[in-house]
Structure 1
Amino acid sequence: MYKDGIPADLLARSATTENASQREASTTPNVARECHSEMETALAQTRESYVRLAADFENYKKRIARELEDRSDRKCDALVRALLGALDNFERALGKESPGAGGSFYEGVLMIHNQLVQTLKEFGFAPREDLKTPFNPEFHEAVAVKSDPSQAPGTVLQVWERGWMKNGKLFRPSKVLVNQWEESVSSCAQTIS
């Protein structure tokens, strides 16, 4: 069987092939659209993951920098606390001698003391001057009391260990001897009873 000189089975095969090609052509855009949509979704998820990962990494870097700075500050503070003990001993030694008595030895110890204090100041530490000031429990640690009627009650009479500030905050309180009159104690007792 021939149609227009072409065998019928060949025509049937060609019609089937054309139909299949047309079906493929009509489904190819749908498959391409679906594939494109899936790829865009995957790309958006990948971008979101990247942004989160980048933010997490930035937070990690900041946290590590903060931890390193905190660790460094703690080590610096420990070193300064150890040095303050030596500085206290320098001050005790300087307090025992009069400036003119020791000559060059006294002056040498005074120079070392002043250099240590200056170095600490360069790193944000500052000594407190508490002698003859009113007692303040935020800055002073009362080690003992003494009665001196020539001074007001609650006045710091003697500083045993100097207090230090670090960047405007208390680093070490001053250990002090505080004035407490005997009559002020007895008048307080009478007021209470």
Structure 2
Amino acid sequence: MSTKEQHNEAAEAAEETVSAEQSEQVVEESEVEVLEADSRYAELVKQAEENQQRFLRAQADFDNFRRRTLKEKEELGQYASMKLIGQLLPVVDNFERAVAAASVNGDFESLAKGVDMIFRQLEQTLEQEGLKAMNVVGEPFNPDFHQAIMQVESDEHEEGIVVEEVQKGYILKDKVLRPAMVKVSS
């Protein structure tokens, strides 16, 4: 073999060695990349599972909150009038006493006086809860507060003025509980 051929073979062998080393290095780098990708994938899967568990817990908490709120709302609806009824019980007791005293004594004047006192006690209790009677006579007719049942001729009042209250109207806090039944001038 000539020197040139030997030199070419040596060069080829060297290139193969370098090429093999580079291939090994590329394989090692790709293995590292695969390991890093597997590690990142595993980390992402773990995060996804944690997020899924967190989501399920939050959903369960929300369902429990919704059920508890619904139950509280139902109880509030059932027992909303409990406070008012508790305040009205003394009025009921006083009516019972008045009826019992009237049947024993037969004194209707003191019965009337007692019933008047009980009525004032009842009005006071209802006012404390925000109930107010409307004062409508002499006021202009307003369909939001009044229910006209009749029109009457009136020399004293202009047209559209409430002349007589047939049934009282009431306002609870800021809302009309019952409109007043009235006669209106024409």
TMscore range, shorter length:
0.5 to 0.7
- Paired with 1:179 and 1:108, the residues of 2 have a C-alpha distance of 38
| Aligned length in residues | 129
Root-mean-square deviation over aligned CA pairs: 3.2
Quote the Cα distance in structure 2 between the aligned partners of 1:144 and 1:64: 47
Does the residue aligned with 2:159 lie in a helix, a strand or coil?
coil
> 1:44 — aligned with what?
51
1:109 pairs, out of 110, 115, 128, with: 115
Give the alignment partner of residue 142 of structure 2, picking from 136, 142, 145.
Answer: 136
SS for the counterpart of 1:151 is coil
Query: C-alpha distance in 1, partners of 2:183/2:140?
Result: 11
Name the residue aligned to 1:125. 131
- 1:158 corresponds to 2:178: no
* Distance verdict in 2 for CA 1:156–1:104, change over 3 Å: farther
Provide the TM-score with structure 2 as the length reference: 0.55
Match of 2:151 among 142, 145, 149: 145
Change (3 A) 1:105 1:178: farther
Larger Rg: 2
Per the alignment, residue 96 of structure 1 pairs with: none
SS in 2 for 1:160: strand
Counterpart-to-counterpart distance in 1, 2:75 and 2:162 = 40
Pairwise CA distance, 1:164? 1.0
Q: Which runs of 5+ in 1 are unaligned?
A: 1-29, 80-101, 181-193
**Alignment partner of 1:175 is 2:175:** no
Shift of 1:142: 0.9
Distance (Å, rounded) in 2 between the aligned partners of 1:150 and 1:112: 36
1:154–1:119 Cα change, 3 Å:
same
Aligned partner letter, 1:133: E
Q: What's the counterpart of residue 21 of structure 1?
A: none
Q: Structure 1 residues 173, 179: closer, same or farther in 2, change over 3 A?
A: same
1:55 to 58, 62, 65: 62
Residue 64 (structure 1) aligned to one of 53, 71, 80: 71
Q: CA deviation at 1:57?
A: 2.2
Distance 1:159 1:72, change over 3 A: farther
* Identity level (%): 25
The whole-number CA distance in structure 1 between the counterparts of 2:112 and 2:159 is 35
Q: Deviations over 1:17-68 (max 9, x none)?
A: xxxxxxxxxxxxx999877764543232111110122123223333333344
